Structure 1
Amino acid sequence: MLMFVTFALVQLNDPDPEIWVPVYLAAAVLCFLAFKRKLFRWVYALAFVVFGIGAFLLWPPVYQGITMDMDHTPAIEQARESLGLLICALAMAYCFLLEWKYRA
């Protein structure tokens, strides 16, 4: 949860914070609710699918890394955004497994 709040804060300097801050805050809230065991597994499964589809759709046609400056090519920013969504998807899979364990 704290990692996603940090991700959201870092996005405040991004050219499109109105997209990425809510995305990362949503992941943080879902992680917090998993910690409190307040949601059902299907919510995390749905979030996993949505984040996963977003990561797939944002993946650049040609991967050029993530370490170069964003001014070099838009593909670098796309790769970073895609990997961020992939991290969100993996966290949702973990939350799903936690709910599975607690409700079994």
Structure 2
Amino acid sequence: MENTTIFTLSGRHSHEEIMPVINEALKEQADFAYTRFLGFEKECRVYETKYEMNSEEFLKKFESGELGDDLHWFDWYAALRGKTLWEKKHSILRGISWKA
């Protein structure tokens, strides 16, 4: 699905000056989001290995209350939420394009 949004670039700088700055900022933010995603993904893999279940199975058990209230379950849950959030941000940033 493609959404179209119109941005207005105002100020004293030309289009040719502005676009590289925007491109660079988007790339840097996308790279940052991907790095954060990878960190949370790695953290989830550590939990998966330690507790011998994948994150999807963990989430079902956690949300049903089957695992209890130990803090390490909340840490895993937070890592999983972080992974999901940063993956979404990366996807959004990588999906931005425009026609000059």
Give TM-score scaled by structure 1 length: 0.45
Give TM-score scaled by structure 2 length: 0.46
Tell which has more relative contact order, 1 or 2 (C-alpha 8 A, sep 6+).
2
Structure with higher helix content: 1
